[in-house]
Structure 1
């Protein structure tokens, strides 16, 4: 299996961290120049430094549970090449490498890196999980499963196991399994070590030992997403009606972004729970729990629910978009048979800022979460420092909200509030409004909206090509040829300049 290239060491550093690093290097340079000054013929003894050898230490497989503020990053997944913003995985990998918990030269595949779920640019995570092999402070005899020596994987520039459709990472050949002796010393304090090196926008919450065959992705049974939104100008009861139609196993090809490069032919996904709840006076939250999700599936669902909530579309639109073949969805009481919608109508998906991967579900007993490296029988009193950090961030957010509310009050002294006819009592109400040229703002989430003067119902809009047609065109077109050239370039160590 090919190995992913290691991310650039300083890619995820802030400006302040880079300045601090430059100052430290200047101090080191001055000390070096001082050491080169004449010493009156007396040679100073050279200090002996032991060269660190990563593979002299045993490795164990663990799971890391962490949070991240998506708006600061260009997505979760590490990307080969330059990106406008750092990726969460790139920054986390850098911290692990700097702490010498992984071998930076072996890349992601060298440590068996796997994630639970991929989130895109701007999307946050509160319960993300990755699994990987890390250096341990315990002797081999105290580890149930330990990897010793270099992994049987050759470094390469390919993304390899970072791709979503890749098979689970193989168990290293050097793993030894045994009944371990009781832990006699402290393990590395993975949580505190990493959090000292990570920016405040990424926090490792806990770690847990896991078996060598555990996969953060394939062992996961469900993912829980939350989407926060303002109920202003929305009929929540209609949105609840629409969300209830999502539950069950359905074909979601009309409620996701179609990417021919992935060559997906099955769009069946199982939604276990979909409901809306009130968060506070200003916000509601849409909860979606499923075994797995398609590309941008949650954001497309939320865009449709916004149209339903404004009254521009009936709740039955959700059922219509799920009815990709004759009789796929049975009509509800009082509703006519749904037309077949086997090609996705054009519509804009919701904004990514309010979306969060809240939790990932695994079989009972999979984890024994820990926050320190102490033996389990040693008492530890948490000083609450991590909660204190997050409480301070929440307080700052409340202050920013209060400031913005007062800016609004200041504006209200001189400007009228916006007018809105939303939510409509019936979709047809939009066509008979008194001022047909008066635009409406269709919400897209995250404080964004789309200005619309003439609204076209979703089922009457232009439709994209059928999935089979799009996949075939990609296979026969330049997309496939380009991907093949890139694959060959990566395997041969060359560069792809297209």
Structure 2
């Protein structure tokens, strides 16, 4: 395009632009000319050449060699807010939210306490109890091998890859359910070229190190040295779960009566979700206590189910709560618990009870209010230690961090309560149908009811079908066999193919 022609086009276009004519009225030729002019007026940005600095010769020989350092086995006790994570366990496939173990593993690797390239198996990672998406923990425990600051911490008697402890078959399916700031200096100041010599330097402050790297929704509460054969999962003597709920429209007396029927050794196949991948053939578990109590220091009506047992099945607590909610609403009698535990003739000692060998269809309770509260071990198995990351005035540290989170949550709850009071001026609360033992309401198959599921969730229905009259699922033997012939067979073939590739 000649200079004179270009100037002429530019003059015409400027005149058109000066007028209020919108682009919609321009012809195709005018629009193309306008774009050509704008492209021609653009000057390419200056090219800047960035020369990378030469490598630091001091860092070339500071390659971190985990084999040059002693290791020791420890247990970590930590809490986490389940609603912020896609469950505890690291998943093979991508998840919408991070997992608790994934975040914790990254912190351990960043602190160079474990070798990230070796993965979970390389550090002998074991969890006490698996929690699903939305479920929180107040005292979760994992055990693993970590890098130690002490030469004497090197233990050759056993390793996480060659444990000297054996476990009973039933225990295998027990439960479904910047580096060192401050005293530790920086990575640039640390010499990673040779093993540490015996010195008077204390052990790493694992609690402080990890909490500086972890988000506020995960807090390491304490750590303990443990024996090489210690397993956070199989050494656990009992687990304590808490499920929180409001007593609005529920008969707490009936719920407590039903909960007491859970205590003892029972077959809980009707209070869990079948997981054929585990190929379980026994569903018998021991419940040590099941109590419903008011929660002190909370809004009126807040209660909690305190459930303690040696081990729990997949989704067992949430299924138990779902049945207890039906009892509390007056839709089921407390005796339905005994009936659901009667999986074979005379299993619960009453020949008149119906045999319920497969689970009726019902929706389990919401995950949000569930917490793995504590994991208990034999005396001497663990000796919890906690280092406080506080300043000279005693400020900071785990307690203050969690107190601040709690205070802020209280503020949100107060604001939400005020919104409710304001809305009540214009909107009447819905009519309460539950508990039937108090309201006297009789389900008529036409009136909609909100059947509670916990966590302020409910299932809306007009027609309620009693549990023992509902459709039943398949027997666990059928479910196991179907999985073995389907997913299980495909998994085995895949593993054989991978093993063959590795041999090549």
Range into which the TM-score falls when normalised by the shorter chain: 0.7 to 0.9
Quote the Cα distance in structure 2 between the aligned partners of 1:351 and 1:71.
12
Distance 1:116 1:46, change over 3 A: closer
- Asked if 1:85 corresponds to 2:97, the answer is yes
Out of 50, 66, 74, the position equivalent to 1:54 is 66
Distance 1:146 1:67, change over 3 A: same
- Asked if 1:102 corresponds to 2:114, the answer is yes
The TM-score with structure 1 as length reference comes to 0.78
Out of 387, 404, 407, the position equivalent to 2:419 is 407
- Asked if 1:286 corresponds to 2:305, the answer is yes
94-103 vs 254-263, which deviates more? 254-263
Give unmatched runs, 5+ long, in structure 2: 1-47, 163-170, 175-196
482-491 vs 361-370, which deviates more? 482-491
Give unmatched runs, 5+ long, in structure 1: 1-29, 37-43, 154-163, 168-180, 375-379
Alignment of 1:368-387 (within 5 A): 368-372=383-387, 383=395, 385-387=397-399
Alignment of 1:32-51 (within 5 A): 33=51, 35=53, 46-49=57-60, 50-51=62-63
| Structure 2 residue aligned with 1:196 | 212
CA shift, 1:416, in A, is: 1.1
CA shift, 1:429, in A, is: 5.1
| Structure 2 residue aligned with 1:254 | 270
- Asked if 1:451 corresponds to 2:469, the answer is no
Quote the Cα distance in structure 1 between the aligned partners of 2:393 and 2:491.
53
**CA RMSD for the aligned pairs?**
2.9
Out of 224, 231, 241, the position equivalent to 1:208 is 224
- Asked if 1:484 corresponds to 2:502, the answer is no
Q: Deviations over 1:412-441 (max 9, x none)?
A: 11111111121012999524x5xx522010
Contact kept? 1:250, 1:268, Cα under 8 Å? yes
Distance 1:248 1:51, change over 3 A: same
Larger C-alpha radius of gyration, 1 or 2?
Answer: 2
Contact kept? 2:237, 2:310, Cα under 8 Å? yes
Contact kept? 2:388, 2:398, Cα under 8 Å? no
Contact kept? 1:247, 1:270, Cα under 8 Å? yes
Out of 358, 364, 380, the position equivalent to 1:349 is 364
How many residue pairs were aligned?
419
Distance 1:31 1:221, change over 3 A: farther
Q: Which has the higher helix share?
A: 2
- Asked if 1:319 corresponds to 2:328, the answer is no
Quote the Cα distance in structure 2 between the aligned partners of 1:125 and 1:445.
17
The TM-score with structure 2 as length reference comes to 0.78
Distance 1:53 1:396, change over 3 A: same
Distance 1:45 1:134, change over 3 A: closer
Quote the Cα distance in structure 1 between the aligned partners of 2:369 and 2:161.
42
